[in-house]
Amino acid sequence: MKGYLFAGIATIAFSNIYIFSKAALNEVHLAQFGVYWFFIALVLNVAWLVKSGGHQAIRQFRGRQWRVLALLGVLEILTTTSFFLSVQVIPDPAVTSFLGNMFPVILTVMGIVFLHERFTWMESFGAILALVGAFIISYQGGTTLSDLFIPGTGIVLINALFASTASLVVKLNVKSLTPEQMNTNRVVWLFTFSVIMLLVFDQPLSIPSSALLNISIGACLGPFLAVLMIYHSFSLIEVSKSSIVQSTKGVFVLIGSFFYFHTLPLPHQLVGGAITVLGVVIISLSRAGLLKAKK
């Protein structure tokens, strides 16, 4: 029950990332956003790491643990940059969230290829549903490949690939590295990268107070609370069971977007979003052993 509770908290907190990051990115450059977002996350994560005593084990890390942390750092830079780019490019956060349901499909496929996990017909059906839903959401009726899908669809796909790879690395190492250690490592890399990008793009540190407020709320909920809760849920329940709860995030983002931005996806995007959620739920229920199907 504790694992499901962590997954539920993570889902609600992560849903708010779409809302508050979109509001902030409407006002500031991505590099400015990253510096403030991950500085706040870094302070919170370091404080929590020290409080939990996880910092004491860092001195005993061996070469393999440092290599895993470095690999996760690079993957998180690629994953997070592509994520916030998609949030910035796609007008409605709910659409971005629904398209993000490509992630569990790709994660499932990677589990089969790299971890030699078995795949059922029910999971295949769920994966097809999720992909069909993503196609419906992103389709805009163009006649050429460049205008066939809405802008940002490719970025979401790239994000899903990197996020799936990072999740596999976390899954394989969650017993040797604590959630606090991995999350602190993540924000150290991302804050450092953001500072470098701020200098590269020659952006000022000064930002509007409204953007700073949105960043502060989002950073507390997202890179601190949400990621920490996801890692803890992975350590207590299977990734597939955690994904059942997380698959509902699109609904929370949809409600938040309506009240915060007064926007709703187009009717066909709502239908596609519902199909992706259904597909992800079927995949997650099947992998959790709650749907019986022949392998």
- Band the pLDDT of 295: cuts 50, 70, 90: very low
Around Cβ 267, how many Cβ atoms within 10 Å?
8
Element (H, E) at 237: none
User: How far is residue 173's CA from residue 2's CA, in Å, rounded to a whole number?
Assistant: 21
| Phi, psi at 139, each rounded to 5° | -70, 130
The tens digit of pLDDT for each residue in 200-259 reads: 999 999 999 999 999 999 999 887 888 788 878 877 877 666 766 777 788 889 998 998
Give SS3 for 203: coil
- Token pair 């187009």 in the structure block, residue: 266
Q: Is residue 49 part of a domain?
A: yes
For residue 149, list its beta bridge partners: 139
Identify whether 228 is part of a domain: yes
**Length in residues, the chain:** 295
Note the pLDDT of residue 145. Answer: 60
Number of Cα atoms under 13 Å in the Cβ half of residue 284: 23
How far apart are alpha carbons 228 and 115 in whole angstroms? 24
Residue 292 lies in a domain: no
Q: What is the mean pLDDT of residues 137-148?
A: 74
Determine, yes or no, domain membership for 294: no
pLDDT at residue 36, as a whole number: 97
* 198 found inside a domain: yes
Domain assignment of residue 276, yes or no: yes
What average pLDDT does range 186-190 have in this prediction?
94
Closest CA to 27 of 203, 227, 202, 200: 203
Q: Please give the Cα distance from 143 to 124 (Å, whole number).
A: 29
Residue-wise pLDDT for 160-184, tens only, equals 999 989 988 887 877 788 878 888 8
Q: DSSP of 131-155, one letter per residue?
A: HHHHHHHHB---SSGGGTB-TTHHH
CA distance 233 to 193: 28
Three-state DSSP state, 201: coil
For 28, residues 6+ apart whose C-beta sits below 8 A from its C-beta are: 207, 208, 211
- Looking at the domain assignment, is residue 172 inside a domain? yes
Q: Examine the pLDDT at 148 and tell me if it is beyond 80.
A: no
pLDDT in tens, 24-83: 999 999 999 999 999 999 999 899 888 877 777 787 788 888 999 999 999 999 999 999
- Number of independent structural domains in the chain: 1
Provide the pLDDT for residue 224.
83
111-142: per-residue pLDDT in tens?
778 777 677 788 889 888 988 999 999 988 76
State how far the Cα of 93 lies from the Cα of 215, in Å rounded to an integer: 16
SS3 content of the chain, % helix, strand, coil (to 5): 80, 0, 20
From residue 212, give the alpha-carbon distance in Å to each of 4, 219, 225.
32, 10, 18
* Cα-trace Rg, the chain: 19
Joined together, the tokens standing for residue 49 give 């790491």
**Contact between residue 137 and residue 99 where contact means Cβ atoms under 8 Å apart:** yes
- Contact between 275 and 133 under an 8 Å Cβ cutoff? The reply is yes
Number of other residues whose CB lies within 10 A of the CB of residue 140 = 14
Residue 295 lies in a domain: no
Cα separation of 225 and 41, whole Å? 9
pLDDT for res 267: 92
Q: What is the span of the domain harbouring residue 64?
A: 2-287
